[in-house]
Chain A
Amino acid sequence: MSAIAVVSAGLGRPSSTRLLADRLAAAAADALRARGSAVTVETVELRDHAHAMVDAALTGFPSGAFRAAVETVTGADGIIAVTPVFNASYSGLFKTFFDVLERGALEGAPVLLGATGGTARHSLAVDYAMRPLMAYLRAAAVPTAVYAASEDWGSADGDLADRIARAGGELAAMVEGRPAAAREDGFENPVPFENLLAAGR
């Protein structure tokens, strides 16, 4: 069983960011099923948690429904993260979500990146802005990121569909091949005091 979490930072309703997110999720789920894996997909619309995210930034902890959303994402086997491009980068809402996660929460997590914009001119935002963010979080971004400009939604050449399918396949492969998480739990297995003391010497 693989759990895919989708983070969508679109502001509009309906939102083209959500549209892309859904397409990416469907592609990843199809690819996982084709590999014989059962899949669940849960989508977190950041707009629904906008106030709670600011509260978490101020108080230091996620509350209520937002806490559940954070757990959905940090507990997923694979993540699809999609943002509109604002002012040459991801939106503030998108960044705030990653800013309020616990340190190390996405370490090693396979992530598929997607972005939307009015024109294709901003397509490199996925590689110049989103990819470094994932690198900092030590998340594993798949090679293909998908940028959808407005014109892509009316294009007849099938380019967007191809990119979506390729990216979904890459995420599925990474989710399947991901080694079991072996994160150290300092609460379950504390470093013995003698070691802490010796470390300073």
Chain B
Amino acid sequence: MPDLSFLLAQSLSGLTAAMFLFLIASGLSLIFGVLRVLNFAHGSFYMLGAYLAFQFVLWGGMGPGRFWWAVLGAALTIAIVGGLVERLLLRHLYGKDELYQLLFTYGLVLIASDAAKKAWGTQQLSLSRPPGLTGSSRVFGTMLPHYNLFILLLGPTIALGLWLLLNRTRAGRVIRAAALDREMLGALGVNVSWLYTGVFMLGSFLGGLGGALVTPVRAIVPGMDVEIIVEAFIVVVIGGLGSFWGTFLGAVIYGQVLAFGILIVPAFSIFSVFALMAVVLIVRPWGLLGQPLGT
């Protein structure tokens, strides 16, 4: 039996990973909830967000505050890219079979990964932690970097902010209405077409933000797009596609299962997560907090 502080430390590391996953998966879930499109390219937005943040820091230097501007700039750029993709291409596939939308976003994945390879090469890139968050503190007997602590606080903050946006503002009400009945909303005089673009941009922003914020913690490498999209898929499937708190719950469960799965069966930690997803899909196909899809 390992001691308690070790278990807590393991749990905290899982929680940090969960917060990143939540950021990314919430964008994926939001887009699915409203547009009913499962966006494979969301992982690519995450990867491009990371590369752009790196690029902006390279241009602007690492002075006080510079890192945060780079992060914001990267996330906003990704939001604009997402907006263009939705406006120019994806829109034309809404009426068609889901398979076409799925394959379209998969095409984007292929294009984005090669474009990033061309622009930034294949070697690992990384950023140092921003000034002010370089230290670490002792928590439950283990050293926890301040940057991780910041992420642990940021996750719930963004979750709360998103929840307030969706549940306490007019824009949020309209978005939720669009998820329920697009035609009715259009009949009530809302410009649904631009609303979809807006939601896609917001979702892309979250993906890009997750990528930009991950740069001080993880290496920026080709392939990070595929890795994260599979994880984000599992998270939203466990929590329930399109369900907001479900995504949060899914991310937390995922982080914990991964953190402790490594302790129990070291070789099969990935396996434990996939198995969890399969079990959830079998017992509750629409996820823990999701709702069955009306057809």
Are A and B a genuine interacting pair, yes or no? no
